Chain A
Amino acid sequence: MVHDPDIPVIERVLQGEQHLYAQLVNKHKSYAYSLALRVLESKPDAEEAAQDAFVKAFKYLGGFNREAKFSTWLYRIVFNTAISYKRKQKMKLQSIETVHLGYSQDSLEKNDKKKFIEQAISKLNEADRVAITLFYLQEFSLEEIADITNTPANTVKVRVHRARHRLAEELKGILNEEALSL
């Protein structure tokens, strides 16, 4: 069993102190939301998916076996919920323009480094975006990323390396374009 600082709170929630679950939500909401946002690329959808994931996690909290950290288990639920929202999005045939509109507007802010990186990340495919997010934002280990995304660790390693390489290439491309347009 791993040492997990969330366990005492989880135990109290399971013993009936339901309101304490808000502590867990507040602690993990930013990461859960960021992860959902990387998959869905839409803020309202990411907000809804992340909220649904927290509700699901609460519902099945009794079944959390504590072999992994609560955060790993929770982010797996967030990831799966976001993927399922993504499938629904595809079924609705959401217009591509809506998704990319933000980025074209963002390119107006030429001197913002973060915007360039976000733009470069947005050009990666979904699996690479998720891998990069998990790798950099909370510095998960490759094994933990493998657990969250239900992918073999070797595949995750290749994916993270590929994503880092592509990100560098994309960033170079964007910066060249920006330099040309100045």
Chain B
Amino acid sequence: MERTSNDMNTKLFDYLDGTMSADERKEFEHILSASPALQKQVDEQRLLESSLRILKLEEPSPAFAQNVMSKINQSSQGSSLSIRNGIFLLVGVMVVSLIATLLVQAGVFDATGSLSAPTNMGGLSEYIKQPLPSISIPINGKLIVNGIILLNLAIGFIILDRAVLRPYFERRMRHS
């Protein structure tokens, strides 16, 4: 029953929109002439359709376009690095990594030191009666500098991606 009603509605709107074939139109008009209820529905719908013609677009505030443009300007000013600055930063990171690598290779950080708790307590010794346990933390300078070099390389790759390659390909895509 509901399906039939939906089908009839579809036909009604197709009829009003003029999207029916000649045969379908003829058939629908035949049904229409036999059904005063359907005829009434078509008339009401036609009246509505003509009323809807008075619907107009709503207007936003007069400063709408200006606000959009200032938002765009703000976002482009506040956006990340320019390609040129990105390249400078990348070169800086690479130079630091290179210098650190050369120093590591030259054996500057080969000596292994240790961090020990002081044994001579100076003026505090009269307050601390118990001997302090000896603590010694070995420090491998080479390992630390190697870690710093790796970190620099990772930062370098991120800068290369975000500030150089991505903007470059986006610009190329826009111009293609």
Contact = CB atoms under 8 A, between A and B. Distances in A.
A95 B156 CA distance: 51
Contacts, number: 98
Interface in A41-55: 46-47, 50-52, 54-55
Contacts of A172: 44
Contacts of A29: 60, 64-65, 68
A90 interface: no
Contacts of B60: 29-30, 33, 46-47, 50
B9 A21 contact: no
Given A62-B174, A136-B52, A19 B69 contact: yes
Nearest to B64: A29
A21 B69 contact: yes
A30 B55 CA distance: 13
**Binding site secondary structure of chain A:** helix
B1 interface: no
Interface in B56-95: 56-61, 64-65, 67-69, 71-72, 75-76
A168 interface: yes
Interface residues of B, number: 32
Given A14-B175, A62-B170, A165-B9, A117 B69 contact: no
A114 B55 contact: yes
Given A62-B171, A117-B55, 9 more contacts: A21-B72, A25-B69, A33-B60, A34-B57, A114-B55, A137-B55, A160-B13, A168-B44, A168-B45
Interface of A: 14-15, 18-19, 21-22, 25-26, 29-31, 33-34, 37, 46-47, 50-52, 54-55, 58-59, 61-63, 113-114, 117, 136-138, 157-158, 160-162, 164-165, 167-168, 171-172
